[in-house]
């Protein structure tokens, strides 16, 4: 009986160790090796399966798609260390000063551009919190509305391309989709790429930004005391067209270069990541933000983040191998197929599990551990891989916002003034969580919002 549920016990052991504060990568690998050792001793695990692990590592080393990860990380950190975001926010807030919720709308627009330039959730939340929160409070914004806007805007990096989450999801779903098609007897499987996920995320990402802006406008019109206009009526007159274009042109040009090269077919996502990294470096150099010490710091930060991602990938690969060796994939397949409601119930359960795991795991762990296990099963039941990837990304984005464990809340709490209670941050994100759930429901009803653009490009 214990052997039959050992895959489930492995997963629970990993969650328990992570909650105790142990390293993610070594928890995954250590749990897998301990369980494999026990299985070999008791005769319930074939030791020859572990010989496949070096081949998996070699496959990871040869994975061209994953080269995009350090390049996008470099691009994001390079832009984070320059003053691009500060210039954008200053000029946008002066431009929108007379609009209802003008400062809030500026934060959303700048956050969208930062998300499209960096793709790193934590960096965007912290950057926007340090720059915009004091300004919003000074203009009389309600603390709950201000912090909720910043948290929600900061998580746009999860869904708006070129998101690192979408890069990793695209690679994992590509493998899962091939496995699913082979199980269905399709021996000439159709590929799904990171570029497909990028294209599928554009419409939902823009819809989410639009919903945020509409909410801020309605709130400001109904309750002007919560989101007042700019205190200085001359702010809008002080920003010239040249200043505005000078601050908007660099990020927009970078976005066009990265996404445009993918859409046009001129470059793969990995090649586009190289273009983005070079473009970000040139922008930082043009603004006079690069010196030897800063370049060394950026290189160290990029190496640290990249090493973390790939170390987790190695541990997750070993965990997945042992999990399958104990029959975990067959157990999940049987469980899903026996559910009443079929693919609908299976998808709801997976989304709920991913949402809850988002409280204790980062998107990297969930992508490397959970998606390879459930992805092939769901895709074999007929789900579109691009739609599934975007729904997982939106689900994780919502989880990162949800009290009391949302990562975005912790990021902002770390830089917010002590005068703002944590309860205000929690209250502020609730409307944005509702908007994201509404968008997910919309995508369930009209999946074409995700699949239409990739289909047109193909």
What one-character-per-residue DSSP string does 298-332 give?
A: HHHHHHHHHHHHHHHHHHHHHHHHHHHHTTHHHHH
Q: What is the pLDDT of residue 448?
A: 94
1: in domain = no
Calpha distance 59→44 (Å, rounded): 27
302: in domain = yes
Q: What range does the domain containing 163 cover?
A: 6-457
342: in domain = yes
Calpha distance 225→220 (Å, rounded): 8
Q: What is the pLDDT of residue 61?
A: 84
Q: What is the mean pLDDT of the chain?
A: 84
Task: Write out pLDDT tens, residues 63-114.
Answer: 888 888 888 888 878 877 777 777 777 777 777 767 788 888 888 988 888 7
Q: What is the pLDDT of residue 230?
A: 58
300: in domain = yes
CB burial of 197-227 (b: ≥16 within 10 Å; e: otherwise) equals bbbbbbbbbebbbebbbebbbebbeeeeebb
Q: What is the pLDDT of residue 28?
A: 86
Q: What is the pLDDT of residue 234?
A: 45
Per-residue pLDDT of the chain (458 residues; tens, 9 = 90+): 566 677 888 888 887 887 787 887 888 889 999 989 988 888 888 888 888 889 888 888 888 888 888 888 888 788 777 777 777 777 777 777 677 888 888 889 888 887 777 666 666 787 788 878 888 888 888 999 999 999 999 888 888 888 888 888 888 898 888 888 887 777 777 778 888 898 999 999 999 999 999 999 999 989 888 888 755 444 444 566 676 777 778 778 888 888 888 877 788 888 888 988 898 888 888 878 788 888 899 899 889 888 888 888 888 889 888 888 888 878 887 888 788 878 888 899 999 988 888 877 777 778 888 888 888 888 988 889 999 999 999 998 898 888 877 778 888 888 888 888 888 999 999 999 999 999 999 999 999 999 998 888 76
| Tokens standing for residue 68 | 């995009």
Q: What is the pLDDT of residue 433?
A: 93
| Tokens standing for residue 308 | 């973390």
In the block, tokens 């915009």 appear at 132
Q: How many domains does the chain have?
A: 1
């Amino acid at each position: 009986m214990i052997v039959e549920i050992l895959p489930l016990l492995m997963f629970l052991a990993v969650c328990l160790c992570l909650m105790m504060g142990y390293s993610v990568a070594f928890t995954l690998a250590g749990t897998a090796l301990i369980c494999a050792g026990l299985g070999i001793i008791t005769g319930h695990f074939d030791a020859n399966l572990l010989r496949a692990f070096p081949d998996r590592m070699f496959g990871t080393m040869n994975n061209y798609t994953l080269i995009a990860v350090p390049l996008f990380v470099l691009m994001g950190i390079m832009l984070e260390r320059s003053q691009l975001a500060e210039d954008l926010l200053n000029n946008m807030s002066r431009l929108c000063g007379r609009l209802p919720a003008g400062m809030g709308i500026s934060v959303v627009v700048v956050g969208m551009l930062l998300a499209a330039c960096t793709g790193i959730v934590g960096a965007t939340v912290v950057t926007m919190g340090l720059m915009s929160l004091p300004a919003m409070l000074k203009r009389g914004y309600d603390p709950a509305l201000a912090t909720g806007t910043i948290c929600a805007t900061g998580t746009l990096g999860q869904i708006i391309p070129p998101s690192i989450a979408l890069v990793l999801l695209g690679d994992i779903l590509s493998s899962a989709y091939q496995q699913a098609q082979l199980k269905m007897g399709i021996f000439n499987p159709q590929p799904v790429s990171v570029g497909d996920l990028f294209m599928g995320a554009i419409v939902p990402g823009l819809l989410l930004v639009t919903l945020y802006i509409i909410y801020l406008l309605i709130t400001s019109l109904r309750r002007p005391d919560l989101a007042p206009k700019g205190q200085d009526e001359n702010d809008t007159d002080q920003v010239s067209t040249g200043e505005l274009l000078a601050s908007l042109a660099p990020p927009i040009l970078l976005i066009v270069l990265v996404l445009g090269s993918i859409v046009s077919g001129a470059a793969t996502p990995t090649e586009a990541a190289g273009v983005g990294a070079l473009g970000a470096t040139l922008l930082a150099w043009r603004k006079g933000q690069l010196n030897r010490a800063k370049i060394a710091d950026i290189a160290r930060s990029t190496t640290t983040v990249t090493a973390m991602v790939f170390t987790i990938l190695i541990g997750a690969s070993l965990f997945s191998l042992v999990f399958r060796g104990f029959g975990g994939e067959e157990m999940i397949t049987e469980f899903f197929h026996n559910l009443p409601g079929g693919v609908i119930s299976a998808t709801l359960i997976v989304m709920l599990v991913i949402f809850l795991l988002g409280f204790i795991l980062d998107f990297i762990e969930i992508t490397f551990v959970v998606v390879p296990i459930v992805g092939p099963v769901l895709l074999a039941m007929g789900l579109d891989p691009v739609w599934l990837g975007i729904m997982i990304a939106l689900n994780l984005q919502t989880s990162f916002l949800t009290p009391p464990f949302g990562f975005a809340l912790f990021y902002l709490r770390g830089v917010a003034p002590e005068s703002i209670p944590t309860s205000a941050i929690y209250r502020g994100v609730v409307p944005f969580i509702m908007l994201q759930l509404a968008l997910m429901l919309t995508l369930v009803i009209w999946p074409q919002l995700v699949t239409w653009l990739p289909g047109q490009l193909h």
